[in-house]
Amino acid sequence: MKQIGNRIICDQDGAIMYSYGEIQGADIPDRKEITEIHCIDLDFGEIDYSKVRLVSIDMNTKKPITEPIEPILTEEQKRIKELEQNNADLVYKVMMGEGV
């Protein structure tokens, strides 16, 4: 069984910024070697975390790279979406002169 110890990221004063924790198991990939650490500060509200997730940082521009979060719909929301699509299809058929 493979074991990997805790990796701790701290600032220049020793304050802990993040602790990865210890892991063990059979199929654990090797930990990536860190040769440099960078940081960027974003303005409050610059990213709407309810709509996108942070993927990485473009190291050339120092800008965040995000991707959309697919919303998790309730059964009621799924049914409403289905009814809206059915309604849109029906309107299209009527406008195109197709029989209903």
CA-CA distance, 86 to 35, in Å (whole number)?
Answer: 55
Q: How far, in Å, are 38, 58, 95 from residue 31 at the CA level?
A: 18, 22, 60
What pLDDT, on a 0 to 100 scale, did the predictor assign at position 72? 87
Structure tokens at 88: 């849109």
C-alpha triplet 77, 78, 81: angle, nearest 5°: 85
CA atoms within a 13 Å half-sphere pointing along the CA-CB vector of 68: 3
CA 36 to CA 28: how far, in whole Å?
Answer: 23
What pTM was computed for the model? Answer: 0.56
Integer Cα distance of 75 and 83 in angstroms: 12
What are the sequence ranges of the domains in the chain?
1-37, 41-69, 72-100
Q: Could you give the CA distance from residue 69 to residue 52 in angstroms, rounded to a whole number? A: 5
| Chain segment 28-73, per-residue pLDDT in tens | 988 989 998 888 999 999 999 999 999 999 999 999 999 999 888 8
Mean pLDDT confidence for 74-82:
94
